[in-house]
Amino acid sequence: MAYKFDAKARYARSHEWVRVEGDVAVVGVSDYAQHLLSDIVYVELPEVGDTLTKGESMGTVESVKAAEDAYAPVSGEVIEVNTELEDNPEWVNEDPYNKAWLIKVTLSDESELADLMDATTYEAYVQEEEEKGGH
C-alpha cells in the first residue's frame, strides 16, 4: 500500500507529524494513521491555551471502527485548533497533512524535534509496521 508522506514534516512513532512553520509548529496525524483508522467521524482536540507534554494524549480521533488517542509529538502551548474539523472530520482522511492539521503550538523545547523521525525514516518505519502488523 502506498501512503503519502510530507517531506517537510517530522514524525512520531505514534503516527503524528509536526511541521515547523516560522515560530509555530503545526501538528496532525499521518496518512498511514488515517488509513489504519478508516472513515474518521469525530476529532476531539485540546483547547487554545492548554499546555501539552510530549507523549501525552492531546485528543482523540474517532472513526467508524475505533477511537484512538492522538499523542502530543512535542511539548508546548496550544495557540490554535482546527475547529473546521468539527464539521469536516473526513478531511483527516482526505488531506491529513494540509487541510486536516489538528493544532498549532509554540514549542517549549525545540530539541524535541530531533527525537522525531524525518519522512524517509518514518516511511521505513511504516513499512516495518505494515510487515509486522499485516495491515
Partner 1 sequence: MDYIPNTDADRDEMLKVVGVKSVDDLFADVPEKLRFPKLDLPPALTEMEMLQELQALGDENDDLNHIACFLGAGAYNHFVPKVVDSIISRGEFYTAYTPYQPEISQGTLQAHFEYQSMIAALTGMEVSNVSHYDGATAVAEAVIQALQVGRGKRLKVVLSPTLNPQYREVVHTYIQGMGVTTVGEDAPLGDLDALASLAEKDVACVIVQNPDFLGRLYTRGEMQALADKVHAAGALFVVSVDPVSLGLFTPPGHYGADVACGEGQPLGNTLSFGGPYVGFYAMKLDDVRKSAGRIVGETVDVDGKRGYVLTLSTREQHIRRDKASSNICSNQALNALAAAIHMAAMGKHGLRKAAELSYHKAHYAAALIDKLEGYAVKSDGLFFKEFIIQCPQPVAEINQRLLDEWGILGGYDLGSDYPELDGHMLICVTEMNNRAEIEALAEALAGMSAIATEDLEGQDESNDVEEVA
Least distance to partner 1 from the beta carbon of 67, Å? 4
DSSP string, 48-69: TTPEE-TTSEEEEEEESS-EEE
String of contacts with partner 1 for each residue 15-54, x by CB under 8 A: ---------------------------x-x--x-------
- 8: CB partners within 8 A, 6+ apart: 19, 119
**CB of 63 closer than 8 Å to CB of 39:** yes
Q: Which is nearer to partner 1, 31 or 68 (CB)?
A: 68
- Per CB under 8 A, the list member of 56, 69, 109, 118 interacting with partner 1 is 69
Only segment of 8-16, 57-65, 107-115, 117-125 that touches partner 1 (CB under 8 A) = 57-65
Closest C-alpha to 29, from 93, 110, 107, 105? 93
Q: Does 67 bind partner 1 (CB under 8 A)?
A: yes
Footprint of partner 1 (CB under 8 A) = 42, 44, 47, 60, 62-67, 69
